[in-house]
Chains A and B, each alone.
Chain A
Amino acid sequence: MNQQSPAETILAVENISLSFGVMKVLDSISFDIKRGEIRSIIGPNGAGKSSMLNVINGFYHPQEGSITFKGETRKQMAPQVAASQGISRTFQNIALFKGMSTLDNIMTGRNLKMKTNLFWQALHIGPARAEELENREAAEKIIDFLGIQAIRKKPVGKLPYGLQKRVELGRALAAEPELLLLDEPMAGMNSEEKEDMCRFVLDVNSEFGTTIALIEHDMGVVMDLSDRVLVLDYGKQLADGVPEAVRNNQDVIDAYLGVPHEEA
């Protein structure tokens, strides 16, 4: 989809290792994400995919390695830094405010864009009012983009699963991220919902130029959408490259077909 030409690297991780006690979840992983690409991370259950995203957005702190985001190298990320620097994400298990409406949930994604303090916001006058209008417009554009006008005022807890996933994507988009982390956005969807979601992922990428890191189990989806694919297995980096190369990689085939692992 996007030109593979010498694009700038937006994020690079070097030799990341993460352990919980004796459990080594990530073992010396290195890869980079170029600006504007769709980068997928795949692997069997427990491979460390979600952990990798959690490291990138600062929720987990790796014991070793470094993360370079937009040219700045850190030992570890902090969630608030990640968010304010332009990384937003969705979760494998939807993490929305169930009692709030679709619109309000998306508005919470605009939180970091709001400058006025609570006092002005509560009074809803002056600069706070102008800011609210501006943010509401941004939220409405996302609602339009995702085609969820009909559920604008509905509490998200009452929505079907596929739509909740869409609202969660909307909230992530509301922060106008430079890097969007999607943790299994198509899990539990039927094929029609999956098709819609693929369309949205591609549109986000091409319309807003947003860089996307995607974890997904559906191989068809991954191979169709991705510019490059990273394969993890039991915390180890198995392969990294364009979909075609990964598809034909013997190690990857073995991992997916379940060849027994040698003792560590």
Chain B
Amino acid sequence: MDQKEQDTNLDTFPKLLASHVKLRPAQDAIREKDLGIWQSWTWAEAAAEIRALACGLASLGLKRGEKLAIIGDNRPRLYWGMTAAQALGAVPVPLYQDSVADEMAYVLDNADVKIALVEDQEQVDKMLEVHDRCPKVEHVIFDDTRGLRHYEQEFLHDFEAVQQAGVEYDRAHPDFYEREVAAGNGADVSIMLYTSGTTGNPKGVVLTNDNVIITARNGIIREGLTSKEEVLAYLPMAWVGDNLFSYAQSYVAGFCVSCPEDATTVASDLREIGPTYYFAPPRVYENMLTQVMIRMEDAAEIKRKLFHYFMEHARKVGVKILNRESVSLKDSLLYQLGNVLVYGPLKDVLGLRRTRLAYTAGEAIGPELFDFYRSLGINIKQLYGQTECMVFICVQPDGEVYADTVGTPAIDVEIKIDDSGEIMYRSPGVFHSYYKNPESTASTKTEDGWVHTGDAGFFDEHNGHLKIIDRAKDVGKLNDGTLFAPKYIENKLKFFAFVKEAVVFGDGRDYSTAFINIDLDAVGNWAERRNLAYSGYIDLAALKEVYQLIKDCVDKVNKDLSEDSRLANSQIRRFLILHKELDADDGELTRTRKVRRSFVGERYDILVEALYSDQTECHIDTQVTFEDGRTGSLAADVQIWDAEVFAENSASQEAAA
């Protein structure tokens, strides 16, 4: 509501802080559960703490442009450390609290950190371990004194002692703090966040106050967030998302952020706070759903029946109601009854009863998971972005939420797809540079401000949403030039419960083909219900009926692909069901169960070649490793089937033209 007025002259966090002290001094700014009780600090109290800390940091010699490392769980004092550093024009550099000492040493050194603000003894011990290797770190300040009584190093300081020194410094230099805050502006560096590059050392992403504050404000305007939101800060402070959701947006909108008591109590703290605005990676939503399902299986019969009855109803009409589409009066009344009996209490247990807006991002989320939360009336949406753009460039608008898109461009964001299919963007959130790394900066960011995401994607012709298909380096081309996005197709196949793994080939070939691993439990169960006899995986995988079952799945995926002019040609022409399950022991999967596509392609090259010939069957001998380490061989005749290929959807062609 007051976003517009407090605009351009509030271009740094300390200035925003001062404005909240004027506007809402008695409203809670931050909260922490300590000794079992939620302790709150109002904006005025937080400002006093920050002022004392900033002056204390100044008395330790922290100057404009120098770096303050921040290491620990989400704690009010660590968040204050960010603002205190920013008040002096210094730059906070949050580090992942679970990194080992060696990883920390690299970042501390690379970022030229002068002072480190750390949470507790665990972090202090790591700082001591790397002390010799990081000569630039002059002081270490710790929040929790436990276990540190007998540490005598002179460069260690208790947080309270630093604040005390700050109060005295403030008294001796009365207008120092105001002067420093006034000297800051939007073009100053706000924060440096290290991204874990997949290759080489992490890179420090330099973001300015304008990057952070304008992106935060645009998000607030688009979603209509107010100073009344409740947020739980539980994701690592070193992750850009936490900096946006738990810090920047709180300072821009003026809402209160709560810090959990401990990393292990997040679930119960979530219930107690009942956030109105919530972010979690898909894994968290999956765990919640699994917990609910397990507990319902153990519940009394009447409760279980009630639950399943109303969940069935929610699946039917819940999403429509959330999207404000019309439903019949009977369905609407039944949904309201369900809300009283099931949905409300369930959301209460999950801590999501008051949640108006929930975000997820990071990896593909299954449609059924998505629908579960949305049918309960929780407005869960996907967004897309990275550290380099200050979290997000795309968000799904209300009422337009699909499991396979990441939404439309956010306010002030321009997105284009370059010739190779890579997504590029330009926005106010585009990072300043990689710290001390002009080569990487130049290869990621063009001179006119466009940033390479490294992801391949396209805009869906029907709804204008961006779809991410794969990492750009994994995307190939068929011989006719069609985009070939193996992971995108594999994910579509894996959304079927019968398909456990899929490996799709096609780069540099005439058409796409697929290896399928069936899910032994799901397909086995399906076969038993049809009185189909089988002795084990190989036997089951070779059944004609099972092939027909999998063909139906592949056909549906092809139908899906045909609706998109860019991908229509990459429909799967031929497929086979592998005679053995892909296994990490055989090197076919990584330990985190990701398919190693090229390895699988080499290992089964006879099968791959057969897929690209007109054979309908292929004999193969395979070496396998058993769980006890012995090896043996497995021989099988694998059938190869053709899948149905659909004509490219004409509607989409028109839209593309």
A residues lining the B interface (CB < 8 Å): 136-137, 140-141, 143-145, 147, 149-150, 152, 199, 202-203, 206-207
Contact = CB atoms under 8 A, between A and B. Distances in A.
Interface in B7-42: 34-37
B150 interface: yes
A137 B36 CA distance: 9
Contacts of B268: 150
B35 A141 contact: yes
Interface string B247-279: 000000000000001101100100000000000
Contacts of B265: 149-150
Most B-side CB within 10 Å, residue of A145, A150, A152:
A150
B19 to A, nearest CB: 35
A193 B492 CA distance: 43
Nearest to B260: A149
B36 A143 contact: yes
Contacts of A202: 147
Given A150-B264, A150-B265, A144 B35 contact: yes
B73 to A, nearest CB: 12
Contact of A149 (B146, B147, B264): B264
B149 A206 contact: yes
A23 B37 CA distance: 54
Contact of A207 (B35, B146, B261): B146
A144 B149 CA distance: 17
B36 A149 contact: yes
Contacts of B262: 147, 149-150
21 contacts: A137-B35, A140-B35, A140-B36, A140-B37, A141-B35, A143-B35, A143-B36, A145-B146, A147-B264, A149-B36, A149-B261, A149-B262, A149-B265, A150-B262, A150-B265, A199-B147, A202-B147, A203-B147, A206-B150, A207-B147, A207-B149
Contacts of A152: 36
B156 to A, nearest CB: 16
Contacts of B146: 145, 203, 207
A153 to B, nearest CB: 8
Interface string B223-238: 0000000000000000
Q: Is the interface of A mostly helix, strand, loop or mixed?
A: helix
Given A144-B35, A149-B265, A203-B146, 17 more contacts: A136-B36, A140-B35, A140-B36, A140-B37, A141-B35, A143-B35, A144-B34, A145-B146, A149-B36, A150-B262, A150-B264, A150-B268, A202-B147, A203-B147, A206-B147, A206-B149, A207-B149
Contacts of B34: 144
Nearest to B264: A150
Interface size class of B (residues with CB under 8 A): 10 to 19
Most A-side CB within 10 Å, residue of B36, B37, B146, B265:
B36
Contacts of A144: 34-35
Interface string B143-154: 000110110000
Nearest to A203: B147
B124 to A, nearest CB: 14
A141 B36 CA distance: 9
Interface in B32-59: 34-37
A144 to B, nearest CB: 6
Contacts of A199: 147
A43 B268 CA distance: 44
A142 to B, nearest CB: 10
A144 B37 CA distance: 12
B149 to A, nearest CB: 6
A219 B150 CA distance: 26
Nearest to A141: B35
Nearest to B37: A140
Nearest to B145: A207
Nearest to A2: B150
A149 to B, nearest CB: 5
A137 B265 CA distance: 19
A127 to B, nearest CB: 22
A152 B36 CA distance: 9
A199 B147 CA distance: 9
Contacts of A147: 262, 264
A150 B263 CA distance: 9
A149 B264 CA distance: 8
Nearest to B122: A199
A152 to B, nearest CB: 7
Contacts of B35: 137, 140-141, 143-144
A26 B149 CA distance: 39
B129 to A, nearest CB: 16
A11 B51 CA distance: 50
Nearest to A143: B36
A145 B34 CA distance: 11
B615 to A, nearest CB: 54
A71 B97 CA distance: 48
Nearest to B262: A149
9 nearest A-B pairs in the assembled complex, by CB-CB distance: A150-B264, A140-B35, A149-B262, A150-B265, A140-B36, A149-B261, A149-B265, A203-B147, A206-B150
A143 B33 CA distance: 13
Contacts of A143: 35-36
Nearest to A202: B147
A189 B436 CA distance: 48
Interface string B135-147: 0000000000011
A137 B35 CA distance: 7
A160 to B, nearest CB: 13
A141 B37 CA distance: 12
Most A-side CB within 10 Å, residue of B34, B35, B150:
B35
Nearest to B261: A149
A202 B36 CA distance: 25
Contacts of A150: 262, 264-265, 268
Contacts of A149: 36, 261-262, 264-265
